[in-house]
Every structure is written in C-alpha cells, then in structure tokens.
Structure 1
C-alpha cells in the first residue's frame, strides 16, 4: 500500500471514530442526570474529543505533505528535458532558438540544430536592467544531457546553465546553499546534493529531508557562501556518477 493510501485509510478510520464519539457525547448530554455527573462526563468526553481532533490535524498535515511531494515529483519529471540559460544578452526582435544554438554550438562545442530544441523562450517580463534567462526544453534527454555535461565550457563567461527546478526544490536548494555554502551544494536531475562539513554527501528533495541536516551540521560563523557551486563547476555531475 502506498503512503497516500495508508494516510487515506487512517483518515477514514479517524472520521468514523470522530462521528461515533460525537454521537455518544450528544446522547449522554440528552440523558444527563445530576449536574455534577454531567460535567464530569462532558469533561472526560472533551479530553477524548480533543485528542481525536489533534490526531486528525496531524493526519491532515501528513496528507497534504504527501500530496505536495507527489505533485512535486510529477512536476520534476515533466522538467527533465529542460535547462535554463542565464547571462545571454537580450536584444529586441531576437530569435531565442538561434541565440541559444549559437551558445550551445560555439561555446560548448556541440553540433545542434533547431530540431534539437522543442521549446525556447525568455522567462518573465522584459526589463531594461538585466537580461532575462532563457528556458530551453530539448527534444530528447540525450540532447539535454549533452549540454549539461558540456556546461564547463562556459567557465569564464557571463553565461551559465542551471536546472529548471520546481519552486519547492529551488527553495530547498537556496536554503541549503545559504547554510552549507554554494560550493558544497549542487543539483543533478532535479535532486539537491550536499557535501557536509565532515565530507559526507547527502541527497535531498524537500525541506523535511533537509532540516535534519541543518540541525546536525550547524552553520559555522563567518562561513563563506559566495563561492561557485559544483553545479556550475561540473563537480555535481562527477559525484552523481559515483
């Protein structure tokens, strides 16, 4: 049975127990005897009712968390063929596909054609103060991985390539980098990898998985978070193959 199925089964059981207790409490109030007896019984039933509500709220949190994780996994799979290019100069009336192909072929040494790219467009509203990133969805995983492996060819330039993470995983990645430093965090196929101060390596995809690491490895005072991450230097790919 899946985790979600287990949660739904437990929820149904709690709902039945809740309705049974409420019916019993209503019957006791209607047939109550002396006032002192009634107060004692109501107090006892209230304690049981409170525990039941707390259990149901906890179950609801688990259910929401599980649904959120499953939706995030589905969205991550839908982004597997996509990458984001940052730092490419933006010009009026540009053809994003041709601009991106120029970077891929000239800077990364690949030989892509327009058929290699399924979708290519700028993200966000046009802004005169900065160049918007370009979202590229490749026609195949092979094409995407070829670019990802060759991204070290962008070293020393203003252009960089990163994965198209979901909002949830981007938040986890940002929190991890702030805590462990950019050089110790990278992504690979939608997962976040962390190199802890003791040299151990960890893979996380959610805050629930990251929080224990934040507690286990307190942030060192004066630690630097401005260094380049393995994601941009290519170290993440080497680690993922181990």
Structure 2
C-alpha cells in the first residue's frame, strides 16, 4: 500500500495536470470566441465560477491529506520512540553485534549491569554497501533504559560512533532542514520531536515546515518537505514554548 508521501505526490501531480488543462482551455476559449459576444461573456462567467470551484476542491483535498498524514506520522513515531539508531559500528566486528553494543554501553555510558538480556532488538538496517557502515537499530526491553541511554548520548563524543532517534521520514526531513537553517548545535530531537533554539535563546518545538518558516524564514531555494497537519489543534501550540522541551539538553 502506498504511504502518505506517495499519495501526496500523486495529488500534487493530479492538481498540476488539472490546473494546466484549465489554463489551456481558458486560453483556447478566449482565442476562438469573440470577446464582445454575449454568449462569450456568460460562458466566461460560468467558466470562472467552475475554475474557482475546482481550486476550492483541490485546496480542501490538500487539507484532508495533510491531516491524515499528520495522524499517520504520529502513530508511526509513537512506535519508533522505542528505538535508537547507532551509527558508525563497523561491519566486520569480531564479537556479535549485541556484544559489541553492550560493551560500548558498559564502557562509555557506564551501565555496568547491562546485559544482552536487556536488549530486545539489535540488527542493522538496509543492504550492505561497500565502504559504508549500516546503522544499527536498537530496542531495549525496558523503555526507561532507552531514555537513560539517550540522555547520556554525549558519552560517544570523541568516538567514531553516534546515536540518533529513529525518526519518521517527515520528521527526519524537518530535522535536516532545521539544522541547515540554524546549525547542528541549535537543533535536536527528543522523543521524536524536533526542537530548535532560536537566536533569542527561546526553545521551540516544530511539527511542520510551516512552523519552521514562522520561526526561521528560509529562502526560495530551500527544498520543501512534506507539509503535514500539526498533532495539535493548530500551529499556535507549536509556537508556544514547551516546558518539557525547555528542560531538554542538547
């Protein structure tokens, strides 16, 4: 089944086709029928009314798709919050992957009591690519352990390893766009939420590219990302400083 991004792209293509045909028909109609004709005047009025109706329907369809996309993204992210991604783990390690991860968490994160029994999922994502290390998807048996590990992610500083949350495609795109505009030190994620620190020091949570545009305007060359409905009643919630986010450290 196609995901919501594919559906949105299909809708955009359909919209472009419909609007292009309307424009072509309008130009042809004006070229072939005398402008002074009474019938042309009436026909033009009816056509403009039809054109306005089509725009309204397409706009409504966009809103509905965005709303559905937002709901689906929230559902998917709720599941992904249980996971972490480890990057930079060599493909040709001698011990098992689980043993290697456990050793890192014991040595760097100081979780001395950690064992393989506390890991529910540990495997690489994607197909092998020569010269690249595939990310490792990790899920612990206890959600609290995942939170403890994520809070101490700076323990990997100075190593070739890094850690990231398992974001959805939309949130990953939003996160990368935020980092492009604000820099890596002023953008981070917490529980799947994209957090930004503005120039005045305030911390905000953003859900869509429209939210990001409100806080940090981009330019015409900035690549667009999938526009979705915020998981709240509107963007006003996204523009309100989150106390929880304010307590989050980069």
TM-score, normalization: structure 2? 0.68
C-alpha contact (below 8 Å) 1:81/1:139 kept by paired residues:
no
Alignment of 1:182-193 (within 5 A): 182-193=184-195
CA drift of 1:49 comes to 1.2
Q: Which of 174, 178, 181 is 1:179 aligned to?
A: 181
Distance 1:165 1:136 in 2: 13
Distance 1:180 1:109 in 2: 32
Distance 1:71 1:134 in 2: 24
CA drift of 1:47 comes to 1.7
Secondary structure of 2:85's counterpart equals strand
CA drift of 1:184 comes to 0.7
C-alpha contact (below 8 Å) 1:80/1:141 kept by paired residues:
no
Partner of 1:205: 207
Partner of 2:68: 67
Q: Does 1:147 align with 2:149?
A: yes
Task: Extract unaligned runs of 5+ from structure 1.
Answer: 1-35, 218-235
C-alpha contact (below 8 Å) 2:203/2:245 kept by paired residues:
no
Q: Supply the RMSD in Å over aligned alpha carbons.
A: 2.5
Partner of 2:139: 137
CA drift of 1:124 comes to 2.1
Partner of 2:165: 163
C-alpha contact (below 8 Å) 1:149/1:237 kept by paired residues:
no
- The count of corresponding residues between Structure 1 and Structure 2 is 189
CA drift of 1:37 comes to 5.3
TM-score, normalization: structure 1? 0.70
Distance 1:238 1:107 in 2: 26
Distance 1:108 1:160 in 2: 13
CA drift of 1:127 comes to 2.9
